[in-house]
Each structure stands twice: as C-alpha cells, then as structure tokens.
C-alpha cells in the first residue's frame, strides 16, 4: 500500500487594514479552496504552510520553513497578490502594482528550502511568476500597459475567462498532455513573465501574443510553473485543457523524488 503524500500549500496573506477593528485588524493567513481541493482530488493530505514572522504576540519558536521542507513531500505555490517589482530590481510603475513584499520573501524562502531538499515544487499563476523571479527572471508589471498588442489575459468574468495556448513542440508538457485538440486555459493575471530565469525553459506560450504561460526547471528536481489556473476547470468541460495528468506527474515525483 502506498503511503499518503503530504503536500504543502503556501499561504495567502491578508494584512491589517489601517484603523480597522476586529478580524480586519489582524494578520490572516489563508488558502483558496479550489486549489486545495484540486490537489486533494488524488487522495493526498494538504497542509497550509504558514509564514513564520516575529511580529506575533507569542515568542517565536524554533520551527523554521526548512522543517516543512524536511517533513512534507512537495510544495504548491498558489495564486494571489502581485509579485513586488523590487524582487526583480524595479520600482512599481503604479502603487496598485506593488504587490505583497512580505509574501514574496516568505514564499521565496519556502521555495528555496524545498529546492535545497530536492522536493518537487508546482507553481500556479503567481506561483509560476514567483519561481521565475526567484530564479533571476523578471515580469511585466502590467501586460496591457507594457504590451499594448497583447491579448486579454484577465477579464471581469474572472474564472470563466479563457484563451488558447500552444505547447512547445517536443517539450515535457506536450509529452504529458499529448496532442489533444483543446488548448484553452483559464487565465486570471495582469502580470506576466518577461525575461526567463536561469535554469528554466519555456513549455507553453499564449496564442496571439506569445506570452510565456508555462515554465519548467531544467535540473533533476521537479520544478513546474503554470501561469493558468488548472484548479478552476469544471469537471467535464471539454473546451478547457484537463491538467490532471500534470497533477499526477507532480505527485508521482513527490513519491519518487525526481522528474518522471
């Protein structure tokens, strides 16, 4: 009997609002339900990995993010706030694009701890962008502004918004997903990968503007970033790419400790 895998899921952060009272005056750490359920669809245990800060009321314990990397089998970096441009040597062109610097530092430390432990990592949307930045790459702070000829990557329809992607011929992603005719993905991002980080390769691009939509680490360890949201695909939706095979490869890598 196979042992049950334990998968870590990075936390989203809600910061206290100035002048707020009650729960809004506290720092909250949470996860988005759909991504947790997507991972759990293959009978694994999911654990939210909290950020470890020193601003709490209790004394900081000896627990470190490295302990999570040691005891968990793999890591999923979920979507959410923008990556702060300071992380790739720029200043925010507009205040609303400044993102969450605290979360950036927490997730980068978490990412490097899992990479150091040779544990598989899967990044979704912001998670893919964070992987790229952590590996020395950069982002478009706002695709619509900086690439005026781009297609629409985010819309008011939110998780109903789709566009087509093309997988790199002969790439790892194509080998896992085959030559299926449907190539629509659910897209919810205004930032995007600009320059590719070191030891990464492109696995998919958007049809229409060539925006990078998937990246993969070229080393021995499993490192994959998907710019889209596979967890928002509705069961039986034949128009949207089914990425369950990618989740299965990730979990198999968590069990084996290397690319499959």
Active site residues per annotation: 125, 229, 231
- Residue-by-residue DSSP string for the chain: -PPPPEEEEEPEEEPPPTT--GGGGS-EEE--HHHHHHHHTTS-EEEEE----S-SSSPP-S--HHHHHHH-SEEEE---SPPPGGGGT---SSGGG---HHHHHHHHHHHHHHHHTT--EEEETHHHHHHHHHTT-EEES-HHHH-TT------TTGGG-EEEEEEPTT-HHHHHHTT-S--EEE---S-EEEEPPTTEEEEEEETTT--EEEEEE-SSS-EEEESS-GGGPPTT-TTB---HHHHHHHHHHHHHSS--
What is the token pair recorded at 64? 């470190």
Phi and psi for 150 in degrees, rounded to 5?
Answer: -70, 160
- Residue-by-residue DSSP string for 115-167: HHTT--EEEETHHHHHHHHHTT-EEES-HHHH-TT------TTGGG-EEEEEE
Question: Tokens 């990425």 sit at which residue?
Answer: 243
């Amino acid at each position: 009997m196979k042992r049950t895998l334990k998968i870590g899921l990075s936390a989203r952060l809600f910061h206290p609002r100035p002048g707020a009272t009650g729960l809004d005056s506290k720092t909250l750490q949470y996860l988005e339900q759909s991504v947790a359920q997507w991972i759990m669809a293959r009978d694994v245990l999911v654990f939210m990995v909290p950020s470890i800060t020193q601003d709490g009321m209790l004394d900081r314990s000896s627990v470190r993010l490295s302990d999570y990397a040691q005891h968990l089998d793999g890591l999923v970096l979920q979507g959410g706030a923008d990556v702060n441009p300071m992380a790739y040597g720029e200043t925010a062109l507009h205040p609303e694009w400044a993102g969450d610097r605290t979360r950036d530092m927490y997730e980068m430390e978490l990412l490097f701890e899992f990479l150091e432990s040779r544990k598989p990592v899967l990044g979704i949307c912001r998670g893919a962008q964070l992987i790229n930045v952590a590996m020395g790459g950069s982002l478009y702070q706002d695709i619509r502004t900086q690439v005026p000829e781009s297609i629409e990557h985010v819309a008011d329809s939110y998780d109903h918004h789709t566009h087509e992607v093309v997988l790199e011929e002969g790439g790892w992603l194509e080998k896992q997903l085959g030559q299926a005719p449907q190539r629509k993905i659910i897209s919810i991002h205004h930032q995007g990968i600009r320059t590719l980080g070191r030891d990464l390769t492109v696995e998919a691009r958007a049809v229409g503007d060539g925006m990078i939509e998937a990246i993969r680490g070229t080393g021995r360890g499993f490192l994959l970033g998907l710019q889209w949201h596979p967890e928002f695909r509705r069961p039986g939706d034949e128009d949207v790419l089914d990425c369950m095979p990618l989740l299965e490869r990730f979990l198999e890598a968590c069990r084996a400790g290397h690319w499959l």
